[in-house]
Amino acid sequence: MGPKIKELPAQLPKNFDRPDEPWYHHLTFDLIWKVFNYTLFHPWVCWIIVLCLRAHVTPYQNIEMKIAIAWAFLMTTRAVGGIISDKIAYGNPRDVDLSEEVIVITGGVEGLGNLIAEVYGMRNANVCVLDTKKVQEDEAEEKGVLYYECDVGDAKQVETVAAKIVEDLGAPTILINNAGIAHAKSILDSTPEEVEQTFRTNTLSHFNTLRTFVPYMLRESRGTIVTVSSVLGHLGAANLSAYAASKAANLALHSSLRAELFQHPNGTAIKTILVTPGQMSTKMFAGVKTPSNFLAPVVPTVDVASQVIKLIEKGEGGEIALPLYSRYIGILGLMPAGLQQLVRRWCGIDRAIEKAGLVQKNTASEKR
């Protein structure tokens, strides 16, 4: 008899837990774009079309053959250009062996961080989570994850926990800065304590973890740093001023981090990944409706997690922006101010939190 297989608790999703949705709810622009990228936009498929035309003895002078060849060359140039661009921006990929990596995830008890931690835990990777929320020892053992109670906004706590991680697992080589909170309040209703807490958790925590863990990566001459920001860092939104501002700061911090790593002798061996998702299916913005499920769908957390894990394990740097509009949101800033305002009114970004009933009022300000 071999060793007893470890049983993991699992609960299958129930259809009646989710509202019935029509089939077209799942038809989004992102899905169509993905299909095209595997078909008409894929160089291999494009050249297959050319070969099929030749198999039917289509002369090169025919218009359909000229169009097929021109399209195949265009898609090949696009693909090669993308590869060259990534090489220039992020360098060659590094070798990643999970058995030799130590993964640190901030804010990994819930949401995106929790999903990534559980995936690596199931794969017996060396993964630890830094969070203020407590996790029972039995639950942690079942998930295969080490949990350290830590306020990542406090530099001293991060340094103390870092020493424990090095002692327990070894030098950290993968850092996922995921911790985040949001107070759905207007600027006038926000208290100084809430604004400070938001920046401590969402932004200052990045400085604390980077100052603490990057030196280990530089000594190891390998590493991956993931910065989780938000599309609101580009857009801003009413009643989410502190959250949006903190996420915008993360965008600038990530760019500065890349620049400084590039200047360090061992910095090029450390890969950086920027994550700027739109609305994800997490508790933070539950109930908020997007203006268009076709153009701006709610992103399943598992889709973002799979993209992060994919880049980490390929040893590559890059940017992850889901859904598709968040990848090109910078174009909005190039539009005339009036057109920008019309777009904001159409998409309802500044009314979304209020319509969802998530706006918190400061009772003290109401009395005034």
Give the separation between CA 111 and CA 93, rounded to whole angstroms. 28
Q: Are 81 and 207 found together in one domain? A: no
Q: Is residue 233 part of a domain?
A: yes
Average pLDDT of the residues in 190-194:
95
Q: Are 104 and 244 found together in one domain? A: yes
Q: Are 249 and 174 found together in one domain? A: yes
Give the structural domain span for 261: 98-355
Give the tens place of pLDDT for each residue, 105-164. Answer: 999 999 999 999 999 999 999 999 999 999 999 999 999 999 999 999 999 999 999 999
CATH number at residue 196: 3.40.50.720
3-state SS, residue 137: helix
The number of residues making up the chain comes to 368
pTM for this entry: 0.90
Q: Are 68 and 159 found together in one domain? A: no
Q: Are 64 and 205 found together in one domain? A: no
Q: Are 299 and 158 found together in one domain? A: yes
Torsion of CA 95, 99, 101, 106, to 10 degrees: 130
Give the tens place of pLDDT for each residue, 51-66. Answer: 999 999 999 999 999 9
Of the pLDDT bands very low, low, confident and very high (cuts 50, 70, 90), residue 279 is very high
Compute CA distances 368 → 189, 194, 239, whole Å. 11, 20, 19
Q: Is residue 11 part of a domain?
A: no
Q: Are 351 and 209 found together in one domain? A: yes
Considering 64, 90, 116, which residue would you say is the last residue of a domain? 90
Predicted confidence at residue 5, as pLDDT, reads 57
Q: How many Å is the maximal CA-CA distance in the chain?
A: 83
Mean of the per-residue pLDDT values of the chain: 91
Positive or negative, the Cα torsion across 37, 41, 43, 45? positive
Give the separation between CA 196 and CA 313, rounded to whole angstroms. 35
Average pLDDT of the residues in 251-256:
97
Q: Is residue 365 part of a domain?
A: no
In degrees and rounded to multiples of 5, residue 163 shows phi and psi of -65, -40
Residues 6 or more apart in contact with residue 276 via CB below 8 angstroms: 229, 230, 231, 233, 234, 251, 319, 320, 321, 326
Q: Are 304 and 116 in contact (CB under 8 A)?
A: no
